[in-house]
Structure 1
Amino acid sequence: MQALRIVLLSTAFNGLTQRAWLDLRESGHHPSVVLFTDADEVAKQVAAARPQLVICPFLKDRVPEALWRGSGFPVVIVHPGIMGDRGASALDWAIMDGETRWGVTALQAVAEMDAGPVWSSREFELPPGIRKSELYNGPVSDAAIFCIRDVVEKFVAGFRPQPVDYADPQVRGRLRPNLKQADRAFDWREPAAAIKRRIDAADGQPGVLAELAGGRYFVYDAHLDHRAGEPGRILAVHDDAVLVACGEASLWLGALRRQPAPGEETFKRPARHELGRLLDDAPRLEWAVDSHPHCEESYQPIRYRQVGQVGELTFEFYNGAFSTEQCQRLTRALQWAKRQDTRTLLIRSGRGSFCNGVHLNVIQAAEHPGEEAWRNIQAIDDVCLEILTAPQLTVAGIAGNAGAGGVMLGLAADVALARQGVVLNPHYQTMGLYGSEYWTYTLPRAVGGETAARLWKDCLPIGARQAWRLGMLQDIGPRDPQAFSRWLLSEAAGAARRWPELARRKEALDVSRLAQCRRTELEEMRQDMRENRNQFAERCQGFVLKRRACRTPERLIEDWARGDG
C-alpha cells in the first residue's frame, strides 16, 4: 500500500490517538498530529499541511466547516457507537441501557455531528459490568483501530462512503441526547448493582453527582460489596475507599470530586482523602496481603494467590496512579510475597492502566505539593527496589497502558510481558521531570544506553511490538483480558526455562550501582519537584485540572505537515 500523508486531528494526544499514530506508522504511513485549539487556527494548520486524509480518533469539538466542505481531502470521524448512533454520550447510554453488543463507526464529517456517510463500522460484544474507561480503552479502542485501517485501505482503493439507511432493520443506532446529571442521578435506596451501572457509565468523566456525608460529590470507581445498612450512610473505610450502603447491599467508592462552587475548579481525589475528618467515626476495615493473604473480600486493590511455584501479586490502582500510601502498601505486599516458597513472582496489573507513575492528583491536593511529590517518588522507588532485589525470578504482567515511572516499574522485573495493543510512554520530560524509578539502570539494561537516551529525549509513545523489538518486552500476549491472564500465568510458570539468560542475570545484579543510580536520579528529581526548575508544579496543575494544550507539540508534527511556515 502506498504511504499516505495523514493528519490525526484530536482533542488530546490520548491513548487511542497514540495507538492510531503508532499503528499508522507501523503500516508505513506518515501521520502528523494536530491538537484542536482554536477552530480557525486548526483549519489553517490542516489546510497548510495539505494532507491526503484527515482522521479524528478523539474529537470533542465540531470539525471546522472549512475542512469538511470542499477541502479536497476527506475528514473521517471515529465515533464510539454502532451504525446510525449519534450523540456525544454513546458509551454512557450503552452501559446504562445494558447493551450486550456495541461498536465503532467511522464516518465522514458533515454539518450535523455524527450524521455523515459511513466509511467503516465494527461491532463487538459488550462485557457485563464494564466501566466506561475500560470499554473505551479496550473493545472500543480495538474496534477503532480496525476502522482506521479499513478507512485507509478504502481510501487508497477509491471507496465512496455510504449514507446510513435508517429504514434498514440492521441499523440499530439512533440519535441520543447528551446525558445530563439529571439522567444519571440515583437514589441510594436503589439496588447496588443498578447504582454501580450508572457510576460505571460516567467513569472517567463526568462522574455521577450524589449526596454523601452531608455534601455533594461526583463519585467514581465503584465496587460491589455484600454488607448492608441505612442507604446513603458510610459504613466503613478501607485503604482509600469508603463503603456506602445501598438498597440491599453496598458499594466501595474509590474516588470522589467535590462539587465546585461557582468559579471554582475541583478534581478527583481518593475518597478517604476527599472526605477527611468526616470519616472520623467510620469503622476502619483492615486487610492486606501481608496480614490476610487468603482474604475473600470483594474489594482488594492488592491481592495475591499462589499457583504451583508461581506467586501472583495483582495491583489495581484507579487510573494507574500510585500515591505514596499505595506505594507503601505495595512495598509491604512485595516484601511478604518475596518470603513465600515460590520460584517465580508474577507482578501484574488488573483492569485499567498498568501504572502511570506518581499520583499527580494527590500531589496537587497536598498542602505542599513539591514535598508530597518528593515523598511519592521515593515511595515508588522503594517498590521498584523490592522487585529488582527479589530472590525469585520476577515477571511483570503489563495488562494496560503504562507511562513514565510505570514503564520503569515493569522493567524492574527480570521478564516483562505485555498484552497486545498496550501503549508505553518511557519518558518524563513532558511533565518537567528528569525521572527516577531506577530508569538509568533498567532502561539501558533492556535496550542499551544509546536507545535509552533517545527514548528518554524523544518523549514519544511506543507500541508493544516496537517495545518487543527494542528488548523492553520479552513477549506479547493475547489482547483479550481473560486469555491474557491465562497466557501470562502459563508464561510465568515456564519463564526460567524460556529465558535462562535473564534468570542468570539476577546473579550479576550490582546493588551498589543501583544505589548510585537512585542517588543521582533523586538529586535531579529534587531540583524538579522541590525547586521546580522545569515547571513541574505548573505542568502538574495543568494535568490535574485538564487544561487543554495551547498548541501541538513539535515532536508530533511531521516535516511534510509544516506547510510553507
Structure 2
Amino acid sequence: MRILLIAGAFNSLTQRVHAELGDRGHHMSVELVGRDTPLAAVVRRHAPDLIVAPMLKTAVPREVWSACTCLIVHPGPVGDRGPSSVDWAVHLGERRWGVTVLQANDEMDAGDIWAFAECPVPEVGKSDLYRNEIADAAIEAVLSAVARFASGTYRPQPQDTLPAARKAGRTRPPMRQDVRRIDWSDPTETVVRRLRAADSQPGVRDELLGAPWFLHGGHPEDTLTGPPGTLLATRCGAICRATGDGAVWIPELRPPRGPGEPGTFKLPATLALGDRLPPLPELPAPLDPGQGPRTWSDIRYREDGPVGFLGFSFPGGAMSTDHCRRLLDAYRHACSRPTSVLVLGGGRDFFSNGIHLNVIEAAADPAEESWANINAMDDLVQAVLTTTDRWVVAALGGNAAAGGVMLALAADEVWCRSAVVLNPHYRLMGLYGSEYWTYSLPGRVGPETAARLTERALPVTAAAAQRIGLVDRTVDCAPRDFTARTAALAARLASAPALQSRIAAKKARRERDEADRPLAAYRDHELARMHAIFFDPERPYHALRRAFVRKEAPAGTPPHLSAHALGASKSRLP
C-alpha cells in the first residue's frame, strides 16, 4: 500500500513505524506537520491509500479524515484521552499501559478502534519507556491495524461498544508544572517518579540555588542524606540532591526560556550551573557497585567468568568529550582483565548517538569543542578496533545513530534487540563523519550499500540491518530481558571451542588490513573533512546544530523524506 506518515517530528517512534512498514513492502512517505500545515493539500499531493499518524500534536481536519482513512497512534489504553498519557502513566506508578490505534474523527482520541496492544510499565524514565515498551506495543498495534485495513473487510469498533474491562483509560488533562512540582521532603521513590515522568521533556520546574531550572532525569541514592532539597555532591556532571529519606542524582538541567529568547536546551547539571555551583565533593562513580546500596553511575563494569560486561548509559545517547574519555578509561580497564569475551553496551535504551551537540553548542568555542569531541570519539573507536586479544561484542538494546553506529561496528560482532532502529549516517547534520566509518562500514556491507545508507539517510530496522550485514544477530525479546539474553549468548560464545581460533584470525586480519592501509590514514582523511566543516562558520553544520539543539521546527519536511513522496495519482480529497 501507499502509506503517508504525518507527524509533528521524525522522532524515534515515527522512524520505527516508517522502517517497519517499509520492511513489509509498503511504499512509505513522510510529512512533518504543524498547526499551519495545509494538510489537505499535502494529502492531495501524496494521494495515499492510508494515513498513519505515529506522533501528532495537532488535530486532523475533517476534509482529510472524511476522504482518507487516518489512523492515530495514541500512547494510552482504550478510552484514554489527552496529550500527556505516558507522563501520567509514569507519574501515577501504573503497572500496565498500552497503545491504541484509532480512526481520526471530530473529537480528539475518540475515534473507532482499529487495534490495541498492552505493555508493562517498568521503573524507568518516560523517554526510555516510550522508546521501548510503548514503541513495541505501538508497532504491534500499527501492524495489526494496517493489515486489517488492507484486508478491506475489517470494521473498526466504536469505543463505547468495547468491554468495560478494556477501557482502562480516561480523559486526562495536560500535565502541568503544578502537578509535577516536587516536595523535597517527600520520599526518594516519590521524587524519582516525578522526575522520571518529565525526564526528556518538559523537565520539572524547580528553584535551585536561587534561580529557576528545569530538572531532567532522576536516579535514587541510598547512602547520601541531608536536609531535604540541599545539594550534597556531584558525580560525572550530575548533582545529588537530598530528599526526605535519601537523595536523587539529577544528570541534566535546562534554564527556562525568557520572552523573545531562543529555545534553551539540556546540559550536564554541573556544566549548566557553572560558577553558581557551590563547593561540593566530587564522588567517584563506582565501576562495579555489586550488591551495595542503590546509587547512580553512567558507566559500569562486571564480570561473569570469562565474560566482561562494560555497560554505559548517557542521556539521549549523546557522548561528550568527557563521556568518551571516561568510557575509554573504563574500556582499557576491561581489556586489562582476564576475559576472552567483552560485551560493550547491553543496556535497554540508547546505545549511542555520537557526539554531544548540546555540550558543543554551549561551549565558548563550538568549533574547538566539536574537534575535541570527535577526536575523543575516534580514540574510543580506535581502542575497540585494535583490540585483538579477545572477542568484542557490541550489544544494542536501544537505538543508535551516526557515530554511535560506527562505535558498534568497531566490535567483532553487533547484536541488536529486534526492535532497534539504526541511523548509520551523518548527512542530516551537515557532517562528513568520522569514527573510522570509511573503514568499518564498507568493510561490513560493501561500498555500494555503504554509500546508499549514508546518502539516503533513512532509518534501518535491526532485521534489515542483519540482512545487509550491518549487524550479526538480532535478539527477539522484551526490553527488560535483553541484558540477561545477551549475557547467556556471551557465555555460550566464550565456551565455544572455536573462540580462540576466531580471535587469532581477527588479529591476523587486522594486521593485513593495517599493512594494506593503516587506520591512521582513514582517521586523517575523515578528520581533514571534519576540520574543514567545524572551523568554517558558513558550513550548514553550525545552523543545523543550533536548530537541532534548540528544537526549532523545520520550515517544511526535510528533502530526504519528501523526496520519497508517494506520487501524484488522483486524490480522493475534494
| TM-score interval (norm. to shorter) | over 0.9
Cα contact 1:269–1:362 (8 A) shared by 2: yes
User: Residue in 1 aligned with 2:208?
Assistant: 212
What amino acid is aligned across from residue 162 of structure 1 in structure 2?
Q
TM-score w.r.t. the length of structure 2 is 0.93
Structure 1 residues 388-416: Cα deviation after superposition (integer angstroms, max 9, x where no partner): 11222111111110000000000000111
Q: Per the alignment, do residues 175 and 317 of structure 1 end up closer, same or farther by CA in structure 2, a change over 3 Å counting?
A: same
User: Residue in 2 aligned with 1:507?
Assistant: 508
Q: Per the alignment, do residues 448 and 235 of structure 1 end up closer, same or farther by CA in structure 2, a change over 3 Å counting?
A: same
**Structure 2 counterpart of 1:45, from 37, 42, 45:** 42
Residue 39 of structure 1, CA deviation:
4.1
Q: Does 1:191 align with 2:207?
A: no
Cα contact 2:361–2:545 (8 A) shared by 1: yes
Cα contact 1:81–1:91 (8 A) shared by 2: yes
Within 5 A, what are the aligned runs for 1:364-403? 364-390=361-387, 391-403=389-401
Within 5 A, what are the aligned runs for 1:324-473? 324-390=321-387, 391-473=389-471
What amino acid is aligned across from residue 178 of structure 1 in structure 2?
P
Q: Per the alignment, do residues 466 and 533 of structure 1 end up closer, same or farther by CA in structure 2, a change over 3 Å counting?
A: farther
Structure 1 residues 167-218: Cα deviation after superposition (integer angstroms, max 9, x where no partner): 9422222111111101111111111110110111112111110111221111
What amino acid is aligned across from residue 399 of structure 1 in structure 2?
G
Query: Partners of 1:119 and 1:340 in 2: how far apart?
Result: 53
- SS, match of residue 119 in structure 1: strand
What amino acid is aligned across from residue 55 of structure 2 in structure 1?
F
Query: Partners of 2:136 and 2:28 in 1: how far apart?
Result: 19
Within 5 A, what are the aligned runs for 1:235-254? 235-254=232-251
Query: Partners of 2:450 and 2:53 in 1: how far apart?
Result: 31
Cα contact 1:84–1:166 (8 A) shared by 2: no
Query: Partners of 2:145 and 2:162 in 1: how far apart?
Result: 24
Query: Partners of 2:77 and 2:570 in 1: how far apart?
Result: 40
Cα contact 1:32–1:561 (8 A) shared by 2: no
Cα contact 1:37–1:549 (8 A) shared by 2: no
Q: Does 1:262 align with 2:259?
A: yes
- SS, match of residue 393 in structure 2: strand
Within 5 A, what are the aligned runs for 1:491-530? 491-495=489-493, 497=496, 504-509=505-510, 510-511=513-514, 513-530=518-535
User: Residue in 2 aligned with 1:78?
Assistant: 73
Q: Does 1:118 align with 2:118?
A: no
Cα contact 2:7–2:32 (8 A) shared by 1: yes
Most deviating of 165-174 and 226-235? 165-174
Query: Partners of 1:295 and 1:148 in 2: how far apart?
Result: 41
Residue 316 of structure 1, CA deviation:
0.9
Most deviating of 167-176 and 251-260? 167-176
Q: Per the alignment, do residues 259 and 166 of structure 1 end up closer, same or farther by CA in structure 2, a change over 3 Å counting?
A: farther
Query: Partners of 1:295 and 1:433 in 2: how far apart?
Result: 43
Cα contact 1:184–1:208 (8 A) shared by 2: yes
Query: Partners of 1:502 and 1:448 in 2: how far apart?
Result: 23
Residue 52 of structure 1, CA deviation:
1.1
Cα contact 2:217–2:251 (8 A) shared by 1: yes
Cα contact 1:79–1:106 (8 A) shared by 2: yes
- SS, match of residue 165 in structure 1: helix
Cα contact 1:426–1:459 (8 A) shared by 2: yes
Query: Partners of 1:464 and 1:432 in 2: how far apart?
Result: 25
User: Residue in 1 aligned with 2:169?
Assistant: 173
- SS, match of residue 120 in structure 1: strand
Cα contact 1:79–1:107 (8 A) shared by 2: yes
What amino acid is aligned across from residue 85 of structure 1 in structure 2?
D
Cα contact 1:319–1:352 (8 A) shared by 2: no
Within 5 A, what are the aligned runs for 1:267-306? 267-287=265-285, 289=287, 296=292, 298-306=295-303
Residue 479 of structure 1, CA deviation:
2.9
User: Residue in 2 aligned with 1:148?
Assistant: 142
- SS, match of residue 543 in structure 1: helix
Structure 1 residues 330-374: Cα deviation after superposition (integer angstroms, max 9, x where no partner): 111111111111111111152321100000000011111111111
Cα contact 2:46–2:565 (8 A) shared by 1: no
Cα contact 1:181–1:209 (8 A) shared by 2: yes
**Structure 2 counterpart of 1:14, from 11, 18, 25:** 11
Cα contact 2:417–2:477 (8 A) shared by 1: yes
Most deviating of 221-230 and 149-158? 149-158
Q: Per the alignment, do residues 293 and 172 of structure 1 end up closer, same or farther by CA in structure 2, a change over 3 Å counting?
A: closer
Residue 40 of structure 1, CA deviation:
4.7
Cα contact 1:96–1:201 (8 A) shared by 2: yes
Query: Partners of 2:330 and 2:286 in 1: how far apart?
Result: 8
Residue 487 of structure 1, CA deviation:
2.0
Query: Which segments of structure 1 move beyond 6 Å, counting only runs of 4 or more?
Result: 292-295
Residue 268 of structure 1, CA deviation:
0.5
Residue 475 of structure 1, CA deviation:
0.5
What amino acid is aligned across from residue 142 of structure 1 in structure 2?
D
**Structure 1 counterpart of 2:133, from 139, 163, 172:** 139
Cα contact 2:317–2:352 (8 A) shared by 1: yes
Query: Partners of 2:33 and 2:565 in 1: how far apart?
Result: 19
Q: Using CA pairs below 8 Å that are at least 6 residues apart, which structure has the higher relative contact order?
A: 2
- SS, match of residue 328 in structure 2: helix
Q: What percentage of aligned pairs have identical amino acids? A: 42
Residue 145 of structure 1, CA deviation:
0.8
Q: Per the alignment, do residues 161 and 466 of structure 1 end up closer, same or farther by CA in structure 2, a change over 3 Å counting?
A: same
Cα contact 2:100–2:141 (8 A) shared by 1: yes
Query: Partners of 1:459 and 1:186 in 2: how far apart?
Result: 41
- SS, match of residue 57 in structure 1: strand
**Structure 1 counterpart of 2:92, from 97, 101, 106:** 97
Cα contact 2:311–2:345 (8 A) shared by 1: yes
Q: Per the alignment, do residues 95 and 76 of structure 1 end up closer, same or farther by CA in structure 2, a change over 3 Å counting?
A: same
Residue 21 of structure 1, CA deviation:
1.0
Query: Partners of 1:503 and 1:149 in 2: how far apart?
Result: 44
User: Residue in 2 aligned with 1:160?
Assistant: 155
Query: Partners of 1:268 and 1:556 in 2: how far apart?
Result: 27
Query: Partners of 1:234 and 1:430 in 2: how far apart?
Result: 39
Cα contact 2:30–2:565 (8 A) shared by 1: no
Residue 485 of structure 1, CA deviation:
1.3
Unmatched tracts of structure 2, length 5 or more: none
User: Residue in 1 aligned with 2:556?
Assistant: 551
Cα contact 1:321–1:359 (8 A) shared by 2: yes
Query: Partners of 2:24 and 2:427 in 1: how far apart?
Result: 28
- SS, match of residue 88 in structure 1: coil
Structure 1 residues 10-56: Cα deviation after superposition (integer angstroms, max 9, x where no partner): 11111111111111112111121111145452220112221111010
